[in-house]
Chain A
Amino acid sequence: MSVIVKTERLRVEYPNRESRNGPKVALAGLDLQVNAGEVFGFLGPNGAGKTTTMNVLLGFVPPSSGTASLFGIDVRQPIARQRIGYLPENTYYYKFLTAEELLRFYARIFGLNGAEADKRIAELLKLVELEHAGKRQIKTYSKGMQQRVGLAQALINNPELLILDEPTSGLDPLGRMKVRQIIQRLKAEGKTVFFSSHELGEVETVCDRVAIVRQGELRVQGRVSDLVQQHNCDLEKIFLKIVGYEINALP
C-alpha cells in the first residue's frame, strides 16, 4: 500500500516573544503515516498541533527540523500540492466572485479550461447541491453554502488526497450529514482523506484510522476498530483518557 502523507520527526518551533523560556514548540518530533485510500482522522485538543501539522503539509509553515512529504515529494515543493485538495476550517474565498467564477479560477490554476472546466464545475456544483446558486456572489451565501463551495473548490482537480480542516465546524446537522456523505463517497472512489475534527462520533463513523496528538506529540495511532477493542471503550473515552482527563471525574 503506497504512503500518501508522511512526516518523520517533524518539529515546528515558533518564536516566543512573550517569554524568555525559548521558542514555543508546536510540534515535537511528529511521526505520521497515511496510506492510499484511507480516511484518516487527526484528533487532539485545541492547541495540540493539528493545524500546525496541516500548515506544514500545505507548505504554509516550514518545519524547524524533520521532514514532511506528500506522495513522496517534499512539501516545500509546490508540485507536491498538484494532487491534493484543501478545505480550510473557515470559508476563506473571494466573496466578490460567484461560485462558478471561483471554481473556474481554481480550475485554471490546474490547467483546466473551456468545456473541460465547464463540465467539471457543473459536476461539482451538482455534487454539493449548489447548481441553483452558481451564478450568485459567494458573499450572499449562508455559512453552510460557503462551506460547500469550499468543498467543491477542494475537489476541482479531482485530487487523490483531500486535507480537510474541521470540515463540519459550524454546520447544522443537515450540513454535517451532507459533508459526511461526500467524504464517504470519496472514500468509495478510493480517495485518501486526511481530516481533523472535534466530532468524535463522526470520526468513528467515517475513519479507517486515527491519530491523537497532544502538546505536539503523537500519543496514539491506529485503526479505529483496533483502538476500540484494545481500550474496551468508544473513541470519545479513548480520546479523553489520552488527552489527560480522568474518565471517572466526568459527570
Chain B
Amino acid sequence: MNTIFALAGVVIKDLYRRKDFYVLFVLTALLTLLAGSTTFFEDKRISGYLKELCLALIWLATLVIALTTAARQIPAERESRTIFPLLAKPVTRWQVVVGKFLGSWLAVGVAVITFYLFLGAVTAARDHSWPVAQYFQAAWLHWMMLGVVVAMAMLGSVLFSAPSVNVTISFIVVGGILMVGQHLHKVALRLTEPAQTLLTLLYFCIPHLEWAFNYRDLLLFEQPLISWGVMAGATGYWIAYMFAFLIAAWLVFRRKSLSVG
C-alpha cells in the first residue's frame, strides 16, 4: 500500500502545482458565489434556478477535473519516460494503475468537498439554513460517481496514447450515460429483437452515473435524506464498476510494450 499511496501523492502534487487547475477552480468558485448569493425580488423559484445553475457548474467543473487529470496519467508517464525509473523499482503495473487512480480520485474528492462547502456557505448566507446531511449525501454520491469516471478514464489512458482522444471519448461516453442512460430500457421496449435484448443488456451493463445526478434534488428541493442502506448500495455499485475498469486497465497495461530505445 505504501507504493500506491506514494504514487497517489505524486499525482496530487502534480495537480496542485499546475496553473490550469487553479484557473478552473477559481472560475467555478466565482460563478458559484455570483449565482448562489444573488436574490431576485425574494422569489424562491429564481433562487432555486440559480442554485441549479451552480450545481450544474460544479458538476461540469468536477467532470473536467476528473477526466483531464485521469486521462493524462499514464500517457504523461510514458511521454516523459518517468515510467522507466519507476518500473525499475519493485513496483508492479497494478500498483501504477491503482496509485494513479487513487491520486486522481482523491484530488477530485478535494475539489468536490471544496465546491460543496463553498456552495453550502454561499446559499446558507442567503437562505439562513444549511442542511448539512443532505449536502454530505449529495457530495458523497457525486464523488463515488466520479470514481467510476476516473477509473473509466484510466482505462482510456492505457488504450489511447493521446490524452486528448481519451478525454473526448470519455466525455462523450459520460455525457451519453448521464443524458440517455436511464432511458435505454424504455427505448428498448419499442424495438424489435435482437435490438431490444441488446439495448436492454446495455442498459444493465453501463454504470448508471445519472443516479448521482438525480440526487441533486436533495439540495435543490431540500428533500428528505436518502436511507443509509440505499447510500451503501449505491456506493457498493459504483465501487464494483471502479474495480472492473481498473482490472481492465491493468490487463491492457500489463501487456503493453513500453517504448524504449
Residues of A within 8 A of B (CB): 51-52, 55, 58-61, 78-79, 81-82, 84, 86, 88, 90, 92-97, 101, 105-106, 108-111, 113, 150, 153, 157, 163
**Across-interface contacts of B5 in A (CB, < 8 A):** 108
Name the one of A52, A97, A153 contacting B85, with C-beta atoms under 8 angstroms. A153
A61-B257 contact given A108-B5, A109-B2, A109-B90, CB 8 Å threshold: yes
Q: Does B126 contact A (CB under 8 A)?
A: no
**Across-interface contacts of A150 in B (CB, < 8 A):** 85
Q: Does B240 contact A (CB under 8 A)?
A: no
**Across-interface contacts of B260 in A (CB, < 8 A):** 51-52, 55, 60-61
Q: Does B183 contact A (CB under 8 A)?
A: no
Residues of B within 8 A of A (CB): 2-3, 5-6, 9-10, 13-14, 17, 80-85, 87-92, 257-258, 260-261
| Beta-carbon nearest neighbor of B16 in chain A | A96
- B6 x A108 contact (CB < 8 A): yes
- Additional pairs, 19, CB under 8 Å, beyond known A97-B13, A108-B2: A52-B260, A52-B261, A60-B84, A60-B88, A60-B258, A78-B91, A81-B89, A88-B88, A90-B81, A92-B80, A92-B85, A93-B82, A97-B10, A101-B13, A109-B6, A109-B90, A110-B89, A111-B2, A163-B88
A-B contact pairs, 12 of them (CB 8 A): A61-B258, A61-B260, A78-B91, A86-B89, A88-B81, A92-B81, A105-B6, A108-B6, A108-B9, A109-B3, A109-B89, A110-B89
Minimum distance in angstroms from B155 CB to a CB of chain A = 22
Minimum distance in angstroms from A69 CB to a CB of chain B = 15
| Beta-carbon nearest neighbor of A26 in chain B | B261
A58-B10 contact given A51-B260, A108-B2, A108-B5, CB 8 Å threshold: no
| Beta-carbon nearest neighbor of B18 in chain A | A96
| Beta-carbon nearest neighbor of B93 in chain A | A78
Minimum distance in angstroms from A203 CB to a CB of chain B = 22
**Across-interface contacts of B90 in A (CB, < 8 A):** 78-79, 81-82, 109-110
Name the one of A58, A101, A111 contacting B87, with C-beta atoms under 8 angstroms. A58
- A88 x B2 contact (CB < 8 A): no
**Across-interface contacts of B6 in A (CB, < 8 A):** 105, 108-109
**Across-interface contacts of B257 in A (CB, < 8 A):** 61
A149 to B152, CA, bound (A): 35
A58-B14 contact given A52-B261, A92-B82, A109-B2, CB 8 Å threshold: no
- A96 x B17 contact (CB < 8 A): yes
A51 to B259, CA, bound (A): 12
Name the one of B3, B9, B88, B261 contacting A81, with C-beta atoms under 8 angstroms. B88
A95 to B82, CA, bound (A): 10
**Across-interface contacts of B13 in A (CB, < 8 A):** 96-97, 101
| Beta-carbon nearest neighbor of A62 in chain B | B257
